[in-house]
Structure formats: structure tokens, C-alpha cells
Structure 1
Amino acid sequence: MSKWEYKTVTFETTGLWGGSLNVSNFDNEVNKYGQDGWEMVSCFATHQAQGKSSAVFAVFKREIEDW
């Protein structure tokens, strides 16, 4: 039976009202987690008025090997 650990990473958006995500920086960061054995299992944004987001959250998991 596998055991897992989880990590949530927050990516702040930019712009006057939020909602703009630097995709290049996002890709670089999530790829770093992937290289460290983390698998993204969910990604979602917080919603504000008019469809803008103040932050994007990525949830990762990886198997705990020494249990």
C-alpha cells in the first residue's frame, strides 16, 4: 500500500485587478517540482469579480518511499 505526501504551491497573479499569470515562470516552477518527483494532481484559481484571479494554486503529490 502506498503512502503519499502533498504540497500546495501558490502562484500570485499580476495586473491591476489580478488575473495575469506568467506562464513561463509557472512552467519553470512546476517542472522543477516534477524533476523532484512531485506529480501535479490539481490546479485551480481563486476567483474575483469579472473572472479575474488573485492566485493560482497547484497541488502536488509524491510517494513516501521510507515508511
Structure 2
Amino acid sequence: MKRFEYKTIKIEPKGVWGSNLDATEIDKILNELGQQGWELVSMQDLSVSGSSWSFHYTFKREH
């Protein structure tokens, strides 16, 4: 039977009003986790009053 482990990370926008998402930095994080065997299974926008303030990325890999 396959077994999995899960990992959730939080990525927050940067900048004065927290409105700057650096796609290059996000790609770097996602690629590093991919190299470690993690597969992205979901992403959740934790918006507040219609503004995105942070995101949860959930990964899994076979254990």
C-alpha cells in the first residue's frame, strides 16, 4: 500500500502593502521542493476582504 507524507508552506506577498508577489522566488521554492520529491497538490489563497495576503501550498510525496 502506498503511503504519503504531506507538507504545507505559507508564502506571503512582500512590499509596503504586502502586494508584491515575486514569481521568480515562488518558482525557486517550488522547484526546490520538487527536487526533494514533493508534488504540489493544492494552493489556497487566504484572501481577506478580497485582498490576497498569503497563500498556502500543500505538497505530498511517497513515504
TM-score (norm 2): 0.88
Unaligned runs of 5+ in 2: none
- Over aligned residues, Cα RMSD in angstroms? 1.2
1:23 aligns with 2:15: no
Give the match for residue 60 of structure 1: 59
Higher-Rg structure is 1
State the match for 2:5 in structure 1. Answer: 5
Which structure carries more strand by proportion?
2
- Structure 1: 5+ residue stretches without partners: none
In structure 2, distance between residues paired with 1:44 and 1:34: 18
TM-score between the two structures when normalised by the length of structure 1? 0.83
Post-superposition offset of 1:19: 3.9
Q: Which runs of 4+ in 1 moved over 3 A?
A: none
Alignment of 1:28-43 (within 5 A): 28-43=28-43
